Amino acid sequence: MAESVVLLRRKTVRDRRYPVVNKGRSHFHKLIAKLPDGPYYTVSQVEFLVERDLKTIKRWIRSGKIDPPSKHIRVYGELVYLYTPEDVERFRTFADSR
């Protein structure tokens, strides 16, 4: 079965061009990787792709400046938001306009 999540980790804070496949080893990421119709990203991966702070992205969603993610699942009692590539592009466009 193909992986449905792209796993990313920045090498250094300054060098965002070189993703390393180590980010996302938690049980959440492993379960998300098995979901069909992917790829899906977690908020920490979106933070990396959009090049904004995690708190900033969460604040944008809470304040209603940008729509929440299009999907979510409940894993072990926790609500996990799933971001599609379209959601990431929406975040990137919003981030560039600021």
Residue 53 Cα distances to 38, 45, 47, 48, 50, angstroms: 24, 11, 6, 8, 9
**What digits encode the pLDDT tens for the residues 63-72?**
989 888 878 8
Closest CA relative to residue 40, chosen from 14, 76, 77, 75:
75
Work out the burial of residue 41: count CB atoms within 10 Å of its CB; fewer than 13 is exposed, 13-18 middle, 19 or more buried.
Answer: buried
Q: Is residue 87 part of a domain?
A: yes
Give how many domains the chain has, as a whole number: 1
Domain holding 51, by residue range, is 27-96
Q: Is residue 9 part of a domain?
A: no
Higher pLDDT, 79 or 6: 79
| DSSP code for 8 | -
**What digits encode the pLDDT tens for the residues 23-59?**
556 677 777 778 888 788 888 888 888 888 889 988 9
Average pLDDT of every residue of the chain: 76
Q: Is residue 80 part of a domain?
A: yes
Reply yes or no on whether the pLDDT at 95 is more than 50: yes
Per-residue pLDDT band for 3 (boundaries 50, 70, 90) equals: low
| CATH assignment at residue 44 | 1.10.1660.10
